[in-house]
Amino acid sequence: MAFLEIARLEKSFGPLRVVRDFNLSVEQGEFISLLGPSGCGKTTVLRMVAGFETPDSGAIQIEGRNVVRQRPNARKIGMVFQAYALFPNLTVAQNVGFGLKVAGVPRREAEERVAEMLALIGLPDLGARYPFQLSGGQQQRVALARALAVRPRVLLLDEPLSALDAKIRVSLRTEIRTIQQRLGITTIFVTHDQEEALSMSDRIVVMNGGIAEQVGTPFEIYNQPTTKFVANFVGTISTLVAEVEDPAGGAVRVAGQTIRLPRPVEAPRGGRIGLALRPEALHLGAGDGRDTMLPATIADVQFLGSVIRLQLHTGGTTVALDTFNRPDMPPPRVGEHTQVSFAARDVIVLDS
């Protein structure tokens, strides 16, 4: 049995089924992200693990013991919220030491733990300050220290970076991940930001309408999405419609050309399937190892800095293509006729 085991969890608010048949096994020390659009049930799952919400049915086991009937305090869980959760009338040190005081940890030991936590978050000298004297990023680091001070078994983070400026958000990703790994603490991180989930997690749970649509490593979620929802929610994807020629041989026809996919196709001869492609799987002109080439017209050019994102009309649809910026080469222009190539092995076939 895994360190944290969630089984068949269900939760409704009135007629609204917010979490449905939610299952998840988390190994000790693992960093798991719950990723999904607003309203899909991420916070509700987290609140049930923390004990602020009671599931209608299902089990939540930590170290082999069902905690569903345990009060939040008894579960030994640390939680960090989106923002503004520090006690404004307490100093940083008092905030970080709050849980220790409640737990009756002796003063000397609590002071040592607070100092240790402030060092861990890189703010060793700010213990005497009040929250309003800190930046948003510093406040969230203090909130993290406060959650960790009681040495919880599980750390729950609910969109802790969402309210921060872009630059701070990115640097705090690394910082949170580093601290999490140093302590080896089992963590569930909630976010609607795919980049955060991809960059920080050991594994990601993509949620949609209260359901876990797919669970996998960032690599698997991005490169082998199993549903249309996952493919579209995580990253950008374009779909070419193809007609099946030979299901067993994986042969399909798109824009007058036959492509042999590396796997058999689960659709009848003459049926239509979608060939999904990530922007970086498409190449402008002929490319090494790209076995399919289609005529295309450039419909839009977005200069993003290190990457140029093109929209191209091809195969009866519009596809997104990424190409690296080259200082010695001006970007292509709208209206230009060109060719787009890709490799059959990079095609993602989505059935639902």
Q: How far apart are CA 116 and CA 104, in angstroms?
A: 18
Distances in whole angstroms, Cα of residue 119 to Cα of each of 98, 109, 144, 281: 17, 15, 12, 44
| Residue 191 binds to Mg ion (criterion: CB under 5 A) | no
Q: Please, which residue, 79 or 142, has the CB nearer to ligand ADP?
A: 79
Q: How far apart are CA 51 and CA 272, in angstroms?
A: 47
Contact 79, 23 (CB under 8 A): no
Q: Please, which residue, 43 or 95, has the CB nearer to Mg ion?
A: 43
| Residue 43 binds to Mg ion (criterion: CB under 5 A) | yes
Under rule CB under 6 A, which residues in 24-63 are in contact with ligand ADP? 36, 38-44
Indicate which of ligand ADP, Mg ion, none lies near residue 13 (CB less than 5 to 8 Å, by partner kind). ligand ADP
> Binding residue for ligand ADP (CB under 6 A) from 6, 18, 110, 276?
18
Q: How far apart are CA 228 and CA 320, in angstroms?
A: 16
Nearest to 52 by CA among 34, 68, 66: 68
> Binding residue for ligand ADP (CB under 6 A) from 8, 13, 112, 263?
13
* Binding-site size, ligand ADP (CB under 6 A): 11
The stretch near Mg ion (CB under 5 A) out of 22-30, 43-51, 84-92, 130-138 is 43-51
Q: Please, which residue, 37 or 262, has the CB nearer to Mg ion?
A: 37
Q: Please, which residue, 14 or 64, has the CB nearer to ligand ADP?
A: 14
Contact 149, 118 (CB under 8 A): no
To the nearest whole angstrom, how small is the minimum distance from the Cβ of residue 156 to ligand ADP?
12
How many angstroms from the chain centroid is the CA of residue 164?
17
Strands 154-158 and 186-191: parallel
Indicate which of ligand ADP, Mg ion, none lies near residue 128 (CB less than 5 to 8 Å, by partner kind). none
Residue 184: CB partners within 8 Å, gap ≥ 6? Answer: 28, 29
Binding residues for Mg ion (CB under 5 A) = 43
Binding residues for ligand ADP (CB under 6 A) = 13, 16, 18, 36, 38-44
